[in-house]
Structure 1
Amino acid sequence: MNRLALLLVAALVAATGTVLALENWPMPAAPALADMVGDPKRGAYLARLSGCITCHTTPGAAPLSGGQGLVSKFGTFFAPNITVDRANGIGEWTFAQFVRAVRQGISPDGEPYYPAFPYEFYATLTDQDMADLWAAVQQTPPSDKPSREHEVGFPFNIRAGVKPWRTFFERPVQYAVDPERTSEWNRGRYLVWGPAHCAACHAPRNMIGGLPDNMELGGDPQMQDGGRSPSLTAKDLTARGYTKGRLLEALRTGITPDGDVFGGSMAEVVHGSTKFLLDQHLEDISTYLLDLGRQ
């Protein structure tokens, strides 16, 4: 009995130490922000481009009042209400808290968001982008619809466990202009790797959800929701019949070169995001993805 008691005490001490270590795991510091005025019209466009509308709005519901479940092998994650409702939305947030949440994936309470929220890619958004998004959110009518709790089982329901995951597997996207490329190519790369976050689905993740070091858009044969995403390399896109014009048309309409249509999450992306984009931006994306000389 004494030995059993000692083992139980040791296990309790170890568990307590683990919890304390996770709770005190260091998180990135909030960066300094420039003081600027946001453009709500541009922010509304960014919200479409970045998938905010698609993820945070269920069909028939008020804009940004909370989204459908994102099913994964870790559980189901629900995008929260991000309207300015003070009780059920983010009406109590400051601009600085909003920026830290979007670009760093950290809540106003200092807790990490699950990487189902693509903050790794939103790290590329500029201070002006964030000011514009904030201005758009401020003009969105408030909704008192409560956010749904994630349906995530043990041990993934321990939010603090995301902290060490971030240390070893988080890949915040860094963007820099390539002076040897055209402005169209550079914009396309920014859109693909930044706000449009194509790699969130089209780069293969490891068994615990981490992105590959090479960050190539080679497709994911085993997505977290059990589906699969195709490769977006220039070689594979060309083999599937895509030209610049056909890729632009597919992103606008959801119709592929062989006359088929996108299904699943890509259909939602077209319906809620890419069909609203400017032709110039769709051309930029197509220019970047179909640059055979880059492969």
Structure 2
Amino acid sequence: MKTGFRVALGMGLLAACAAGVIWALNVRDEVDVKITAAFAPSDSLIARGRYLTLAGNCMACHTARGGEPYAGGLGLATPFGTVFTSNLTPDANTGIGSWSSAHFWRALHNGRSKNGRLLYPAFPYTSYTQVTREDSDAMFAFLRSLPAVKQANRPHALRFPFNSQAALAIWRALYFTPGVYQLDAGRNAEWNRGAYLVGGLGHCSACHSPRDALGGIRDSLTLAGGLIPMQNWYAPSLASPHEAGVSHWDREQIVGLLKNGVAPGASASGPMAEVVLRSTQYLTHEDLGAMAQYLKALPGPAPEAPAAPRQASASFNTAKAAKLYEQHCAQCHGDKGEGVPGAYPPLAGNRAVTMAATDNLVQMVLGGGFAPATAGNPRPFGMPPFVLVLDDSEVADVISHVRTAWGNQAGAVTPREVNRIRANQGH
């Protein structure tokens, strides 16, 4: 009896200690919102805030399809359920009209709402915590200048236990550390500006990093590439030369891709096309150049030989695959995968074709797509969808062909892989 009591007491004390640690980790560097000051933004501060919200691509998530800008209501599918974005217009009851600049700063810096509730990391405060108070105030000034839209926030539809504050507190204790960006004294001002934009406002790691089963990102794998949850698109590594690393690119080539959505031999597609369309095309040449310098300096993976061709679980009919390519692809991409400069990207020697992850290739063949329409590329050439033209076996064959022809040395794709993505399109 005494032994059982001691065990129970020990477990209770252990649980209390764990709860105390979790609580402490969730209130570290907490912003004090009780101290308020008059907030009278100038026109220049509002204009700066508008620019910063474009850099953060805030409207893309906080605007429902067909809805008012920044009024929220967009459902973001996650492996744990759906998170609905909040109303950022200055409506006093449903938006941020009753918030102070300190409340807004705490949301970005600590991931807490006005009432103190923990926010779900679908709102990327794990990156936005790096944003400075000055930039936060500018963004708040811009959002408060918008027309107020009365639109109640929809409750999230998350499964238990992910819908509880306790589970969220544990997640934050494991994966979230608040902290404003600290300048690296060993780097120049431009590199530091690029690091701030990529790691903070740009929240590039939200897509370009692998996530574990709980949706967390390990710091050691930041920007190492990862499958975007629920979207079936792979955000390639920004460090690996075999994926989307740009250490060997010319600076202006990187700026051009972020500004226009296209660059010699490359184009933005899928979710990245949306980022260019709604965000990076509006950034200044100086800021894009800073991002380019930072991305060029990213440490690459340990030196290794290119991966050996991946062996598919089933071979493909090379003659049939070549015929399919001739019928459906060669007119745009060329008989030898050489592409058309300024219109259709080459497939020969294209690392978007040869990298190990094939999700994006399957997505493009099935659903088609366009590079973003930008001032520098107002009428982008597009890829037609073949979802109703080619079956799974034919899609697998034509992709296997382009991955193994013209000197490309990548593995084949199986019909099963195509079927997995086809079955999940639109979900």
TM-score by shorter chain over 0.5? yes
Identity of aligned residues (%): 36
> Could you tell me which residue of structure 2 aligns to residue 251 of structure 1?
258
Query: Rg: which structure is higher?
Result: 2
Q: Distance in 2 between matches of 1:221 and 1:256?
A: 24
**8 Å CA contact 1:50, 1:195 repeated in 2:** yes
Deviates more, 1:151-160 or 1:124-133: 151-160
Within the alignment, does 1:131 sit opposite 2:117 as a pair?
Answer: no
CA-to-partner distance for each residue in 1:62-84, whole Å, 9 max, x for gaps?
A: 22111522222111212111111
> Could you tell me which residue of structure 1 aligns to residue 222 of structure 2?
216
**8 Å CA contact 1:188, 1:288 repeated in 2:** yes
Match of 2:110 among 104, 107, 111: 104
Q: Structure 1: where are the runs of 5+ without partners? A: 1-13
Q: Distance in 2 between matches of 1:87 and 1:31?
A: 22
Within the alignment, does 1:69 sit opposite 2:89 as a pair?
Answer: no
Structural mapping, 1:1-295, within 5 Å? 25-26=23-24, 27-28=26-27, 29-31=30-32, 38=41, 39-172=45-178, 175-221=181-227, 223=229, 225-233=231-239, 235-236=241-242, 237-238=244-245, 242-255=249-262, 257-263=264-270, 265-291=271-297, 294-295=299-300
**8 Å CA contact 1:193, 1:199 repeated in 2:** yes
- Using structure 2 for the length normalisation, give the TM-score: 0.59
Aligned-pair CA distance for 1:93: 1.6
**8 Å CA contact 1:63, 1:140 repeated in 2:** no
Q: Distance in 1 between matches of 2:179 and 2:249?
A: 27
CA-to-partner distance for each residue in 1:84-133, whole Å, 9 max, x for gaps?
A: 11122121222221111121111122210011111111111112112111
CA-to-partner distance for each residue in 1:230-286, whole Å, 9 max, x for gaps?
A: 0001634357984322221221222354354411x2222112111111111111101
Q: Distance in 2 between matches of 1:240 and 1:98?
A: 36
Aligned-pair CA distance for 1:48: 0.7
Q: Distance in 2 between matches of 1:120 and 1:111?
A: 16
Q: Do the aligned partners of residues 96 and 238 (structure 1) sit closer, same or farther apart at CA in structure 2, a change above 3 Å counting?
A: closer
Q: Distance in 2 between matches of 1:282 and 1:76?
A: 33
**Alignment-mate amino acid for residue 151 of structure 1:** A
**8 Å CA contact 1:242, 1:257 repeated in 2:** no
- Using structure 1 for the length normalisation, give the TM-score: 0.83
Aligned-residue Cα RMSD (Å) equals 2.9
SS at 2:168's partner residue?
Answer: helix
Q: Distance in 2 between matches of 1:34 and 1:242?
A: 48
**Alignment-mate amino acid for residue 137 of structure 1:** L
SS at 2:77's partner residue?
Answer: strand
Q: Do the aligned partners of residues 260 and 99 (structure 1) sit closer, same or farther apart at CA in structure 2, a change above 3 Å counting?
A: closer
Q: Distance in 2 between matches of 1:121 and 1:239?
A: 22
SS at 1:181's partner residue?
Answer: coil
